[in-house]
A and B are shown apart, each in its own frame.
Chain A
Amino acid sequence: MTRAATAEQGQKIRARTLALLRGAMAIPAWPALILLLAIAAVVQPRLMSLPFLLIVLRQSVPLALAAIGQSLPMIGRSIDLSIGGVIAVVNVTLALPVFAGGPVWMSLAFPLAFGAVVGLFNAGLIAFVRASAVVVTLGVSVMLVGVSYLISGGAPGGSVHPFVRELATGRWGMLPVAGGVLVVAALMAGLMLRRSTFGHALHATGASYSAAWLGGLAVRKELVVAHMLSGIFAGLAAIILTGYIGTGTLNLGADLVMASVAAVVLGGTTFGLGAGGVLGVVAGAFALTFLANLMTGLGAGKPAQLIVQGAIIAGAAALARWREA
């Protein structure tokens, strides 16, 4: 090989490394995850065992599902803060005797259908009435939490369908069933974003609503679908979450709203720009869950976790803007 060819190859490798680095910065979740694992390996080596990592994976499933859902409206420059309400209603509903003792399809179909209806309602107001997405979905969340209190009469409890519990806590060998649910859901969402007209058009709409509209895209229909899917994913997250705790509880899912936004931003997606894809979002959810475990293991309580979570949202958002500039 001649010297020139070697130099050229060296340059190519350097360029490729640079591109890789830039790619890594594009999705803060990956460097964050590596950093967390490195810290854990030093201070809490027991967290690094495979069984424990699988437990973290299982724990992260509801957040990951909610975050995949959340990423869709965010790519289209909208937001869904109503997922907490959806989860609260689904949780107390699945704990009703009718659902716990009824046929299993009810416990599976209701959450998804309910999420879709809420998403449709949100999108109607956001896309057609053109009201502020933040305020609309906040209002819907308040309403739904009220509804969940009504359903449970303020005193939730009861039990859920055994299949729902199995879905959330069951294992195939060492592998959690919930992890399988997440993989299937993430694959479907990823395929949709990368390959379907919906995915391409949603990215375009997020990049510029006016240009998408003038380009003849069905901008409002996309927003409707994005919000419905966000609701459906929230419903799915609610099934798994309800399966974990096995009973009805007050305002389950309130924590998941902010955490889902954090996971999305960590995964490289901000308002109008889905650079990180579904994998980034899942990595973001896993990183956040791992962080919570790490901090708990170090004796840091919820306050410290909230502070770190807040810093992560701002940090990841700042990083995204910095990359654009």
Chain B
Amino acid sequence: MLLEVVDIAKSFGSVQALRGVSLALKPGSVHAVLGENGAGKSTLMKIISGVFPASSGTIRVEGQMVHWNRAEQARAAGVSTIFQEFILLPNLSVAENLFLGRELRTPLGLVDRQRQREESRRILARVGLDLDPDVLTGRLRVAEQQMVEIAKGVMRDARIFVFDEPTAALGDREAARLFDLIRQLRAEGKGILYISHRLPELFELCDEVTVLKDGQFAGHFAMQETTATELVTTMVGRTLDQLFPPHRTGGPGETVLELRDLRTTGFAGPVNLAIGRHEIVGLAGLEGQGQIGITRSIFEGHAPETGEILFEGLPLGHAGPAGGVAAGIGLIPEDRKAEGLFLPLSVARNIAVGLLSGKGLAQPASVPAEDIAAQIQRLRIRLRDAAQAISELSGGNQQKALLARWLVRGVKLLICEEPTRGVDIGAKSEIYAILRELADSGVPVLITSRELPELIGLCDRIVVVRDGATVGSFPGGTSTEEEIMAAAIGGQRA
């Protein structure tokens, strides 16, 4: 065995992210790790790549026990990780990023820019990128950055490669190139761990698959001997219709929000989108295709390059999130920790923030204990007491607290970016149910998600975004992942 992970557990404070997960990687194979948002895939990968140590359990590389606390140690032992979050430095050149930490040097000990430039061209060509190695990395498109990241990981002389959702931002051609690279690595006898929740590409690429559910081992299959249905059932643990509330049977209701020919900065556009009073609409698409640009345009009221946004029949003319809140819109951002929560503050204060917006600074601040308690009960937020710091709660309960923030205020439209990112499965279905309840009560919900099953299961309508343009609309429930992916990739420029 190239890599053996035995009985790994990991907890963050009171939150148990992984419990007794095991996995074995053979040389010359591609091993998929499958699981929903919050199932613990990324935590497991970070342990394998040395970002943080496991709370318990053992890791063996070629039979040798290893203990890693830092990414360097794993790298030195021959593990190369292509992380999900970009770790390229925007202020360095592409070549400088590729050689960071193992710079080529001249006899005088200085960085050998000329050689690095030449080597970089060669490496970039291997992943099919024709880029000037001197160019600032911060200037590249998202897909290009992802490919540079991949090139950086692949060029290392490693025995084990870890890919954490590498195709999330890639178009068709880039993804094909990546698969070629991975097959080549496999032919060289390397072991590859491949994380993704796109089933079709797993069947195309992988030899075996380990499924995680709720931080636990849920199953292990040879890819040829399993079916998509079996994998989904193992991953979700119950059938989808148990996880999601039933779709609405009535019509969408009158239009509440309408985007007409909207073009957001940096994208071709245009966006045309209408949301009815009782609808949950989802935005689908590859990573970084302008989904967030759309949600933020509505909420923050960026002046669009062209087009207009109508809210309840009137054009939205606010500037900044305070204006969006005043208009009756609430936003739950995709990066919950950085943009949503006030980590050191109490749960009550985190919820009551929803009531502060738009109030004069000299006015008394209200923290209505009863309303907050009612929301905590309604959303079944599990906590010791409302004065507890929100940082101590699990991801799912934190997300519910953000929901409570807008429920306490009472919004007319809720935008929810990645509603279940890092949320355990129990909280997931509760969140879905609340979102449906909101829509039924006349508060439409706009969500973005990287998980197609979530969009299909939850939304009434799925709108596909490519290069900042709405390029297709699919009904929820009955559409397939393949249809939606095809629209998302489309004739995308590579």
Does A80 interact with chain B (Cβ within 8 Å)?
no
Is A16 at the interface (CB under 8 A from chain B)?
Answer: no
**Is A196's CB under 8 angstroms from B357's CB?**
no
Contact residues in B for A225 (Cβ distance below 8 Å): 361
A214-B333, A216-B325, A324-B344 given as contacts; is B338 within 8 A of A198 (CB)?
no
Nearest residue (CB) in A for B362 is A196
Q: Which residue of A lies closest to B339 (CB)?
A: A210
Measured between beta carbons, the chain B residues less than 8 angstroms from A196 are 361-365
Measured between beta carbons, the chain A residues less than 8 angstroms from B363 are: 196-197
Which A residue sits closest to B296, measured CB to CB?
A214
Closest B residue to A202 by beta carbon equals: B361
Chain B residues within 8 Å of A214, by CB: 299, 321, 331, 333, 339-340
B352 — which chain A residues lie within 8 A by C-beta?
200
Partner of B405, one of A201, A215, A221, A272: A215
| B interface, size bucket | 20 to 34
For residues 100 through 114 of chain A, which have their beta carbon under 8 Å from a beta carbon of chain B? none
Contacts of B357 in A (CB 8 A): 215-217
Q: Give the chain A neighbours of B344 by CB distance below 8 A.
A: 207, 272-273, 275, 324
| A292 interfacial contact with B, CB 8 Å | no
With A195-B365, A201-B361, A225-B361 as known contacts, state yes or no: A211 contacts B340, CB within 8 Å.
yes
Known: A197-B360, A204-B353. A216 touches B365 (CB 8 A): no
Q: When the two chains form their complex, are residues A208 and B361 in contact, meaning their CB atoms are under 8 A apart?
A: no
Residues of A within 8 A of B365 (CB): 195-197, 199-201
Instruction: Kindly provide the distance from the CB of A325 to the nearest chain B CB, expressed in whole angstroms.
Output: 11
> Is B364's CB under 8 angstroms from A197's CB?
yes
Taking the nearest CB of chain A, how far is it from the CB of B296, in angstroms?
Answer: 9
Q: For the complex, what is the distance from the CA of A222 to the CA of B325, rounded to whole Å? A: 17
Contacts of A204 in B (CB 8 A): 342, 345, 349, 353, 356
A203 within 8 A of B: yes
Type the 1/0 row for A222-257, where 1 means its CB is closer than 8 Å to any CB of B: 100100000000000000000000000000000000
Majority secondary structure, A binding face: helix
A213 at the interface (CB under 8 A from B): yes
Q: Counting CB contacts under 8 A, is A312 at the interface?
A: no
Q: Does A201 contact B356, Cβ atoms closer than 8 Å?
A: yes
Interface centre among B299, B333, B342, B349 (most CB of A within 10 A): B342
Does any Cβ of A come within 8 Å of B290's Cβ?
no
Of chain A, the residue at the smallest CB distance from B326 is: A216
- Indicate whether B324 reaches chain A with its CB closer than 8 angstroms: yes
Residues of B within 8 A of A215 (CB): 321, 325, 353-354, 356-357, 405
Return B322 CB to nearest CB of chain A, in Å.
4
Q: Tell me which residues across on chain A come within 8 A of B354, comparing CB atoms.
A: 215
- The answer on a CB contact under 8 Å between B341 and A211 is yes
Inter-chain contact A216/B321, CB cutoff 8 Å: yes
Q: Give residues of chain B (150-171) contacting chain A, Cβ–Cβ below 8 Å.
A: none
Report the Cα distance A283→B33, complex, angstroms: 55
Contact between chains at A195 and B349 (CB < 8 Å): no
Q: Let me know if B101 is at the binding interface, CB within 8 A.
A: no
Q: B165-182: which have CB < 8 Å to A?
A: none
Q: Is the CB of B359 within 8 A of A208?
A: no
Interface status of A218 (Cβ within 8 A of chain B):
yes
B343 at the interface (CB under 8 A from A): yes
Most chain A beta-carbon neighbours within 10 Å: one of B321, B356, B364: B356
Q: Does A197 contact B361, Cβ atoms closer than 8 Å?
A: yes
B321 contact from A213, A221, A222, A273, Cβ within 8 A: A213
A289: min CB distance to chain B, Å:
29
A177 at the binding interface (Cβ < 8 Å): no
Q: Does A212 contact B (CB under 8 A)?
A: yes
Within 8 Å CB of A198, what residues of B? 361-362
B358 interfacial contact with A, CB 8 Å: yes
When chains A and B are docked, how far (Å) is the Cα of A211 from the Cα of B350? Answer: 10
A-B contact pairs, 7 of them (CB 8 A): A196-B364, A208-B341, A211-B338, A211-B341, A215-B405, A225-B361, A273-B344
| Contacts A197-B359, A208-B339 known; 10 new A-B pairs at CB < 8 A | A197-B360, A197-B362, A198-B362, A203-B345, A207-B344, A208-B342, A214-B299, A214-B339, A217-B353, A273-B344
Instruction: Report B's interface with A, CB cutoff 8 A.
Output: 299, 320-322, 324-326, 331, 333, 338-345, 349, 352-354, 356-365, 367, 405
